[in-house]
């Protein structure tokens, strides 16, 4: 059995590496030559814990990395993991997946294996049946369920935990017609993930499950953030104690109850906007989803208000941002709240210095020489009039009066409450803590 994976981004490369490390015969395909060359040499094009190690293990076995689509005509299973980026109106851009599907079809004309094409890319409900399937049937001149199989299989990976999530998913969702192809796909996943629940449903339900999951997680984050804003008006109130206690209730669960500057990353903001857009054009007013988005936007405004309250005029004031990655243990800055904060502070003519253990290079691609990049904590804090902790990197927990002594004005906004239990000689504000 041979497996092809189209698109070697975060999802595709994680899947490719895990399957190959397990001994499967895998071909990873991407149109980016530079990316392919890095991967061939065991180098991940982005930072993800355990990924490079898993990739290198896979390369020692049966993994091939190519930019040549013709090789998929030997594959029994073809996973499609290309990106579906966001358009300006919130809808998703299907151009990459349309091109990938067309290219796959063109290279399957000589395939007599009746391959199974598995869509892992995140797409709005109805996309697989209305967009992807017609392309395949027209170009292949074959019918789904006879000449090939088409399965929806949404992914639920968390950045910084992708390898573990790929190996041990909480569930497997398979959407499609109940054919022999579905039986074969189920068999594959049962072998990959024994004792993991497998949900068999139709395409549109499988697609909707992904959006349902992410919109609910975004709702939990906005809910705890709104509570944190209330807590800040209550002397002595602590949002961490509240969130931890709520998490003990099995009806609620402990995950995604850490108050902070708002949700970001490559999934939650994009999927929320896409679902809102989809609901709107379907004639549904997504009141709750809109409110979740509004709360998230206001979290950022609150940080700026706290900054202005103390510094008044931000012009020429040196402000230090600690952490630009949307979460720790990744270099991903896509839809990072920290990036949006920097943009807004620059408009107010503040002088920005940033520090991040992994995301400095990606941040520089956006801002170039408009901001300063500090390699050390001393450089980051020196002569700063305000430091804002945005990302929960472990090393920021070690900050103490020794580092803060380099500041011109000792004013700290801790969006993650990392320093809340320390005795600090600073003017300290933290999201979710009452003063």
Mean pLDDT for each 10-residue chunk of the chain (435 residues)? 96 98 97 96 96 97 93 94 94 97 92 90 97 96 93 96 96 96 98 96 98 98 97 96 98 96 94 97 97 96 94 96 97 96 97 98 97 97 98 96 96 97 95 92
Secondary structure class of 352 (helix, strand, coil)? strand
Catalytic residue among 231, 267, 386, 415: 267
Structure tokens at 409: 């004005």
What pLDDT is recorded for position 339? 98
Inter-residue contact 188 to 155 (CB < 8 Å): no
Question: In the structure encoding, which two tokens stand for residue 381, read together?
Answer: 């804090």
Architecture of domain 2-201: 3-Layer(aba) Sandwich (3.40)
Rounded-to-integer distance, Cα 285 and Cα 248, Å: 33
Question: Residue 27: what pLDDT?
Answer: 97
**322 sits in which H/E element:** strand 318-322
**CATH topology match: 2-201 vs 237-430:** yes
Chain centre to alpha carbon of residue 129: 26
Where helices occur in 28-70 by DSSP H, the ranges are 33-40, 51-59
The reported pLDDT for the residue numbered 113 is 84
Chain centre to alpha carbon of residue 356: 18
Q: Of 25, 11, 15, 14, give the one whose Cα is nearest residue 63.
A: 25
Domain ranges for the chain, please list them: 2-201, 237-430
CA dihedral 371, 373, 374, 375 (to 10 degrees): 180
Level-2 CATH architecture, domain 237-430: 3-Layer(aba) Sandwich (3.40)
The verdict on whether 231 is a catalytic residue reads: no
């Amino acid at each position: 059995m041979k497996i092809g994976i189209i698109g070697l981004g975060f999802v595709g490369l994680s899947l490719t590496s895990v399957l190959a490390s397990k001994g499967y015969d895998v071909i990873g395909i991407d149109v980016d030559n530079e990316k392919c060359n890095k991967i061939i040499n065991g180098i991940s094009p982005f930072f993800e814990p355990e990924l490079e190690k898993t990739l290198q293990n896979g390369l020692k076995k049966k993994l091939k990395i190519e930019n040549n689509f013709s090789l998929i005509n030997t594959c029994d299973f073809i996973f499609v993991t290309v990106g579906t980026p966001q358009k300006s109106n919130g809808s998703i851009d299907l151009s990459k997946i349309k091109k990938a599907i067309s290219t796959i079809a063109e290279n399957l004309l000589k395939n007599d294996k009746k391959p199974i094409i598995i869509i892992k890319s995140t797409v709005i409900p109805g996309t697989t049946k209305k967009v992807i399937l017609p392309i395949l049937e027209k170009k292949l001149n074959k019918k789904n369920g006879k000449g090939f199989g088409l399965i929806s299989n949404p992914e639920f990976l968390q950045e910084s935990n992708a390898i573990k999530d790929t190996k041990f998913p909480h569930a497997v969702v398979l959407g499609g017609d109940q054919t022999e192809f579905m039986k074969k796909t189920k068999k594959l996943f049962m072998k990959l993930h024994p004792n993991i629940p497998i949900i068999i449903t139709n395409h549109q339900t499988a697609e909707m499950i992904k959006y349902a999951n992410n919109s609910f997680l975004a709702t939990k984050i906005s809910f705890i953030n709104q509570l944190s804003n209330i807590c800040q008006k209550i002397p002595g109130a602590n949002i961490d104690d509240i969130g931890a206690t709520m998490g003990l209730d099995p009806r609620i669960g402990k995950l995604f109850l850490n108050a902070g500057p708002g949700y970001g990353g490559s999934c939650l903001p994009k999927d929320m906007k896409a679902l809102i857009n989809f609901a709107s054009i379907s004639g549904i007013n997504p009141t709750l989803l809109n409110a979740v988005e509004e709360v998230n936007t206001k979290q950022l405004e609150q940080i700026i208000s706290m900054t202005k309250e103390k510094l008044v005029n931000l012009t020429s004031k040196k402000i230090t941002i600690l952490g630009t990655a949307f979460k720790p243990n990744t270099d991903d800055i896509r839809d990072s709240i920290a990036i949006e904060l920097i943009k807004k502070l620059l408009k107010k003519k503040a002088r920005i210095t940033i520090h991040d253990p992994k995301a400095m290079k990606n941040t520089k691609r956006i801002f170039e020489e408009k901001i300063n990049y500090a390699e050390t904590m001393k450089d980051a804090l020196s002569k700063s009039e305000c430091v804002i902790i945005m990302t929960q990197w472990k090393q920021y927990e070690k900050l103490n009066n020794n580092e803060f002594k380099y500041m011109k004005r000792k004013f700290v906004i801790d969006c993650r409450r990392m320093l809340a239990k320390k005795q600090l000689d600073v003017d300290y504000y933290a999201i979710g803590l009452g003063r």
